[in-house]
Chain A
């Protein structure tokens, strides 16, 4: 039982990370109708910035704050320079252009930081496990990830639901033309939203950096799961992204933790240890397929377009 709680925490932690990525992705997809494959590159840039700034300032927190700000700027510049030209075009154009951006960013990072990758070391006091419940120990830094992401989620909720900018964002998601017709500077709004998405991705990258280290192409695998999250959650819906991210995170982790043992009870140990990991990595995609069949618009679709 205690072990189950620990595995659920692992799942929630993965879910939190997916939420940070998916929130930006779903905002950009929902509001600008833009498929942004380069979102993972912003995640990578955030991690590289954090590693660089943390090393320069010898403080994890200062480095992290600077990295979020820098990724925000990179996102806004990217929107003005490249992404702006893609609105209203075919989705295939988006995929091609943003795939090109992935290659561009990978080589840019190789050019600036070299191919070897970097580390973002944690302060020594973070290298412990905390007793969250009697008998349940959990790595301190993973708890920090959960807590920090919850704070970000609440802030994002307040921003989108309680402020004027948020109102415009929601309005932009449901009827773009009307917002423009009402005299809102839609260009600026788009730049801000893209920057916000980039900052969220950068934050995800820097939170993950101490665990997974900083490498070229680090955003590409996780982006796939983030897309699964926004499809399950409903495109354009932050709430959907949050719920779906936790479902996907917990499902993936629980699958990894229990499925191999379950499979082993049915087939031989050798086949089980190969089939288990394979089967558990399929589970989230099966969930996505089921959602697409029964609720093609996702679990929490954004209000009608």
Chain B
């Protein structure tokens, strides 16, 4: 009896398959970090993606959508494993996410070989912009060295003559410290790379910085480590003596914990919550209303990723099978980015403006504020190494 029932079910399932194909569901695999101290970043990205789907009426490109979230635990090997699972067993149409450059680089071959259309929503490994660029991989963020390069320009304007660099010893740490030197004209008074991600006490490095007597300290510490670095910098008594400049270290996620300690530490971003375009106003206001938190730049990039996929699918009329037409549609990037103007370079990295941002206190609230545009239409320096097939 049981066997007949099973057979009947199988027949029924087969019979309904064509009907399902017409109501095709777009499957999106989403890799981020949802556990440990950096879970706040993953949650911000997921919140923003979900908000984007809300704004799109829980559809993408007019089709029903299913998002499968996976946690990379900040480990390259886990990220690769989850990427394989999403591509091979879930058979997703798109991949989105990736916070960490080293996790992305470990998973990149899998993404490229399977021709899965991927939107990287944070990780800006320089290799991705250069020799490892792929027709199917797009970024809604930046290349790691663009932010420090813009910051270096600002430091030149401020007359900084020597800098002590501190950052974590992994792909993005190297990119950021090198990136500053693309534009900074002064001397390097020292360069320290710390164990990542488990070293959170920077006493030895801050002592070195004090001994080197530089004009400024430059730090790159994303996620929770940024809170620790800025706190220890303030505790070391260096704050009044050697000014700190940073990239990715102070954001909306770390600000509620840093509070006054973050005031007076300038940074650079391609997106700030107060950018005055309509898409951004709607994103920030609805995010705050729905999640009772302020979105961060991680979230803004993920919101853009959803809008980019939506625009491309509308262009291809929901077709995800023809990878070449889908790629062309993605390259058009015909959507309203929350950062304002958005277009892709030939290596699928955005060409965009970068802003100087400052921390301000309003009542009991701390927030980031746009001060000035440092560079416009900035393109990453690795684009020449990218041989993008047509």
Contacts and interface: CB of A to CB of B under 8 A. Distances in A.
A213 B228 contact: yes
A7 interface: yes
Given A142-B203, A256-B204, A118 B234 contact: no
Contacts of A141: 235
Interface stretch (A191-199, A232-240, A273-281): A273-281
Interface in A75-115: 115
A6 B235 contact: no
Residue with the highest number of chain A CB atoms closer than 10 Å, among B43, B192, B194: B192
A54 B191 CA distance: 37
A14 interface: yes
With most chain B CB atoms within 10 A of its CB, the pick from A2, A119, A213, A221 is: A213
Contacts of A126: 235
A256 B235 CA distance: 20
B127 interface: no
Interface residues of B, number: 38
Interface string B191-230: 1111100111101110110110000000000001001100
Contacts, number: 105
B205 A213 contact: no
A119 B256 CA distance: 9
Secondary structure dominating the interface of B = helix
B236 A119 contact: no
B169 A211 contact: no
B382 interface: no
B207 A3 contact: yes
Nearest to A116: B40
A13 B202 CA distance: 12
Interface residues of A, number: 42
B200 A212 contact: yes
A217 interface: yes
Nearest to B206: A139
Nearest to B240: A128
A217 B235 contact: no
B237 A13 contact: no
Chain A interface, DSSP helix/strand/loop, else mixed: helix
B227 A119 contact: yes
B236 A129 contact: yes
Contact of B227 (A213, A253, A277): A213
Interface in A21-67: none
A216 interface: yes
Interface string B236-277: 111100000000000001001111000000000000000000
B372 to A, nearest CB: 29
Nearest to A115: B39
A221 B237 contact: no
A121 B259 contact: yes
B232 interface: yes
Contacts of A296: none
A117 interface: yes
B64 interface: no
Contacts of B227: 117, 119, 213
A122 interface: yes
B237 A128 contact: yes
B224 A6 contact: no
A149 interface: no
B18 interface: no
B191 A137 contact: no
A166 interface: no
Contacts of B236: 129, 139
B37 interface: yes
B36 interface: yes
B389 to A, nearest CB: 31
A252 to B, nearest CB: 9
Contacts of A216: 36-37
Nearest to A257: B204
Contact of A212 (B191, B201, B258): B201
Contacts of A69: none
Contact of B207 (A119, A211, A257, A281): A257
Interface of B: 36-37, 39-40, 43, 169, 191-195, 198-201, 203-205, 207-208, 210-211, 224, 227-228, 231-232, 234-239, 253, 256-259
